[in-house]
Homo-oligomer: A and B are copies of this chain.
């Protein structure tokens, strides 16, 4: 059974792996700060000209296609192919892929060019990739779906695309097409902050940089992020989303492996 392996947090903090992030103008700063807080060393770069060189130096890649343009999709394509060729983990986060036919078409082109190690999506994004009717409305308030619908969607997406899937939401689901792992906990306030999905994808890259089994890395990333959100809720109290946002980073920078294990057992 795949369970969170919080000893990976100690490995990350010891090795400080270089994690390459292609990011977006909304959450790039938060993503870099989260990678640092978790103990990794982020490199934020998205020029097609340097994807090959940065792939060679990085332990993992997180390709986030938010606020996209043609050049960024081109960079992601080159970077994804390089990562696969090198045998290193590539996380793909096709932000708001259902927002337009162009975005979907470009994301499909990526998936045709390489198979990522992990697809990190919310329900609306998964439905768009499955060409299902979606109730998605904006990247930050995706359709919730029933538990059964969500489980079926995660499994189907994994099978259709031949890759592991992390479908995030109030309950996160990780699937390899057959099995399904559920990660609960966290805080409903996570949905009130932009970029928390992008940040979860970065954590997947951080843990995948030190753990070969992508399912374990994804489950650990999800469980760590839920633990951070739960801690942040306690830290920020009723103060509001500005405080909760800072508290998420505080939690990520101070939670230990032991804290996370305790947090998860509590559930």
Chain A contact residues, CB within 8 Å of chain B:
16, 18, 23-30, 32-33, 36-37, 41-47, 49-50, 52-54, 57, 66-71, 96, 99-103, 137-141, 192-195, 235, 238-243, 245-254
Name 17 A/B residue pairs within 8 A (Cβ), A-sorted. Answer: A23-B67, A25-B28, A25-B44, A26-B44, A32-B140, A33-B194, A37-B242, A41-B137, A44-B67, A45-B99, A47-B103, A49-B70, A49-B100, A53-B101, A241-B250, A242-B250, A242-B253
Distance (whole angstroms) from the CB of A260 to the closest CB of chain B = 15
What's the Cα separation between A50 and B53 when bound, in Å? 31
A259 to chain B, nearest CB (A): 12
Chain B residue contacts of A251, Cβ below 8 A: 240
**What chain B residues lie within 8 Å of A46 (beta carbons)?**
67, 69
Q: How many copies does the complex hold?
A: 3
Q: Are B66 and A44 in contact (CB under 8 A)?
A: yes
Assess the A242–B238 pair: CB atoms within 8 A. no
Min CB–CB distance A255 → chain B (angstroms)? 9
- A141 contacts across to B, CB distance below 8 A: 16, 36, 41
Q: How far is the CB of A129 from chain B (nearest CB, A)?
A: 16
Given the known interface contacts A29-B29, A44-B25, the answer about A238 and B254 at a Cβ–Cβ threshold of 8 Å is: yes
Given A42-B138, A57-B99: A245 and B246 interface contact (C-beta under 8 Å):
yes
Tell me the complex Cα distance, A71–B69, Å.
9
Q: Are B250 and A243 in contact (CB under 8 A)?
A: yes
| Chain B contacts for A71, CB-based, 8 A | 69
Q: How far is the CB of A236 from chain B (nearest CB, A)?
A: 9
Residues of B within 8 A of A139 (CB): 42-44
Q: Which residues of B contact A23 (CB under 8 A)?
A: 25-26, 67
Would you call A99 and B43 a contact (CB within 8 A)? yes
B192 A253 Cβ-Cβ under 8 A: yes
Q: Which residues of B contact A242 (CB under 8 A)?
A: 33, 37, 245-250, 253
Asked if residues A37 and B100 are in contact (CB atoms below 8 Å), the reply is no
Q: In the complex, which residue of chain B has the Cβ closest to the Cβ of A138?
A: B41
Which residue of B is nearest A247, CB measured? B242
